[in-house]
Chains A and B, each alone.
Chain A
Amino acid sequence: MKIFDMEAVSNKVRRNIFRTFFFLYFFYTFTRLKSEHNNNPDMENRSLVTIAEHSKEKILYLLEMAREFEKNPNRKILDGKVVATLFFEPSTRTRLSFETAANRLGARVIGFTDPKATSSSKGETLKDTIIMVSNYADIIVMRHYLEGAARYASEVTNVPIVNAGDGSNQHPSQTMLDLYSIYKTQGTLENLNIYMVGDLKYGRTVHSLLMAMRHFNPTFHFIAPEELKMPEEYKLYCREHGLKYIEHTEFDENVIAEADILYMTRVQRERFTDLMEYERVKDIYILRNEMLKNTRPNLRILHPLPRVNEIAYDVDENPKAYYFQQAQNGLYARQAILCDVLGITLDDVKSDEL
């Protein structure tokens, strides 16, 4: 009687070893997949919801990237990608700018311009809409009339969200283009005299710009009627961050003599509870060409547009008027933002010289 069949034993051992290895390999692959999956939300969620989250270095980095795009805006870096532009609130200017940015990068654009034509008018939740679109798009650019909508959207999907304005809350791409315009015209962001004029109470762009400029030691001048003064929370913000500010209610050539940047905004009739007050102030905060005579040569006039009457048309011919070029800078700033949310670096952009 054979006690051991050596061949059978070695077969068994071989089989066991094989099984063990197979199991180990399976286990390894499984855990790796799992950890990759778990890491995704942090790794991939590069959404741009607010400019306040960006460090000084990050802002300068994005401006540098915008400058690359200004040299050559037509690069097929996003070839094969799909950018969704979801405008729950119409905004032609912002949408055209983002869609041009995407098109010039070679991406395809899907989306809607009017929420009336979408399921949200049927009562679909924002969450459902975002998850659905996430199945199709690589980036979601969204504008929403509700505040906090972009933050919430960035939490329900792994597809990067670019906030193109959420109610009166944030509009970071506008801030990026404002910063880029200041940087480009002044050669620096440091130590500038920035004059903000008009509606400083509700103007979202001035609030975001104020916060983004905190890194660069500015001196602010707030020029506004009593009813539209800079809110206390932003003045508190300035004090907490050691930012200098001076408030004015007068708006004339003497007040703006030392300005490097004049940031104009519109005084809107519907913001006033007292229409008599509106009638009184509406013509005070209008910039006229003759007011620019004694201003600094490096002064540039910015305006987020659309303008109504707060900048007289004779200013357009003045070389200090910069609002239309500012809008064009929006294209480069948005190209940089689209690349950055996908993890495309400045080096990637530079090495793509065609």
Chain B
Amino acid sequence: MSYNLKELNIHNSKLITLRKMNKQELQVVALKNGTVIDHIPTDKLFTVVNLLGLQNSDSNITIGNNFESKKLGKKGIIKVADRFFSDEEISRLSVVAPNVKLNIIRNYEVVEKKEVIMPDVVKGIIKCGNPKCITNNEPMTTIFHVVDKTSGLLKCHYCEKEQNKETLKLQ
């Protein structure tokens, strides 16, 4: 981890000061309560938005991309006010963005950090890459078994084909 809770809080409070100082320069507002989703690979940003259903959310949302990152070079970041995601929602991200970090913020302070945990079974998030798979031809939920957690190798529960991580499509 390149940062700790304290640094983040300083960052958050700096933003508040910034806001007070110069409204025109400010790009990202600090959160009072909510979740910051950090370290999103830039090409996966909108996939993460989709997976969490943020396009249909009423919350105050800030989406940023191509921010500088020591780890990734460039990264995406999402701030969602007054939303706290369940473990199930977070585990959905495991398939596309396993290294994403979530910071839970209450009263301008990071109170908790969450990492994405790869589940053993992925249900109804991704589409099977095999066009002859029953899941692509029936109105039904897909199920994948995670064969290898580190490489994120998945196997379709139905047609038993292993999935290429690079070409995964969402259901």
Q: A167-B159, A169-B159, A169-B160 are in contact. Are A148 and B139 (CB under 8 A)?
A: no
B132, B134, B138, B158 pick with most chain A CB within 10 angstroms:
B134
B1: Cβ under 8 A from any A Cβ = no
A26: Cβ under 8 A from any B Cβ = no
What mask results when residues 134 to 169 of chain B are scored 1 for a CB within 8 Å of chain A, else 0? Answer: 110111100000000000000011111110000000
Asked whether B140 lies within 8 Å of A127 as measured between CB atoms, the reply is: yes
Q: How long is the Cα–Cα vector from A166 to B130 in the complex, in angstroms?
A: 13
**Which residue of A is nearest B158, CB measured?**
A148
B43-97 interface with A by 8 A CB criterion: none
Q: How long is the Cα–Cα vector from A173 to B114 in the complex, in angstroms?
A: 48
A351: Cβ under 8 A from any B Cβ = no
State how many angstroms separate the Cβ of B47 from the closest Cβ of chain A: 25
Which B residues touch A144, using CB under 8 A?
134
B130, B137, B158, B161 pick with most chain A CB within 10 angstroms:
B158
Which A residues touch B117, using CB under 8 A?
none
Which B residues touch A145, using CB under 8 A?
132
Q: A147-B159, A169-B159 are in contact. Are A152 and B140 (CB under 8 A)?
A: yes
Which A residues touch B126, using CB under 8 A?
none
Asked whether B138 lies within 8 Å of A127 as measured between CB atoms, the reply is: yes
State how many angstroms separate the Cβ of A159 from the closest Cβ of chain B: 18
Q: How long is the Cα–Cα vector from A175 to B170 in the complex, in angstroms?
A: 35
What mask results when residues 9 to 35 of chain B are scored 1 for a CB within 8 Å of chain A, else 0? Answer: 000000000000000000000000000
Asked whether A147 lies within 8 Å of B138 as measured between CB atoms, the reply is: no
B118: Cβ under 8 A from any A Cβ = no
A272-331 interface with B by 8 A CB criterion: none
Asked whether B158 lies within 8 Å of A151 as measured between CB atoms, the reply is: yes
B99-137 interface with A by 8 A CB criterion: 130, 132-135, 137
Is chain B's binding surface mostly helix, strand, loop or mixed? Answer: loop
State how many angstroms separate the Cβ of A336 from the closest Cβ of chain B: 24
Which A residues touch B130, using CB under 8 A?
147
Which B residues touch A125, using CB under 8 A?
138-139
The residue from B133, B160, B161 contacting A146, defined by CB atoms under 8 A apart: B133
Asked whether A149 lies within 8 Å of B139 as measured between CB atoms, the reply is: no
State how many angstroms separate the Cβ of B29 from the closest Cβ of chain A: 47
Asked whether B140 lies within 8 Å of A147 as measured between CB atoms, the reply is: no
Asked whether A147 lies within 8 Å of B133 as measured between CB atoms, the reply is: yes
Asked whether B134 lies within 8 Å of A147 as measured between CB atoms, the reply is: yes
Q: How long is the Cα–Cα vector from A257 to B38 in the complex, in angstroms?
A: 63
State how many angstroms separate the Cβ of A204 from the closest Cβ of chain B: 11
State how many angstroms separate the Cβ of B19 from the closest Cβ of chain A: 54
Closest 7 CB pairs of A and B: A148-B158, A147-B159, A148-B134, A148-B159, A146-B134, A149-B134, A152-B134
Q: Can you list 22 A-B contacts with CB-CB less than 8 angstroms, sorted by A residue number? A: A50-B160, A125-B138, A125-B139, A126-B138, A144-B134, A145-B132, A146-B133, A146-B134, A147-B132, A147-B158, A147-B160, A147-B161, A148-B133, A148-B134, A149-B158, A151-B134, A151-B157, A151-B158, A152-B134, A152-B158, A168-B132, A169-B160
Q: Which A residues contact B (CB, under 8 angstroms)?
A: 50, 125-127, 144-149, 151-152, 166-170, 233
Q: Which B residues contact A (CB, under 8 angstroms)?
A: 130, 132-135, 137-140, 156-162
Other A-B contacts than A146-B132, A147-B132, 4 sampled, CB-CB below 8 A, are A147-B133, A147-B161, A152-B134, A233-B162
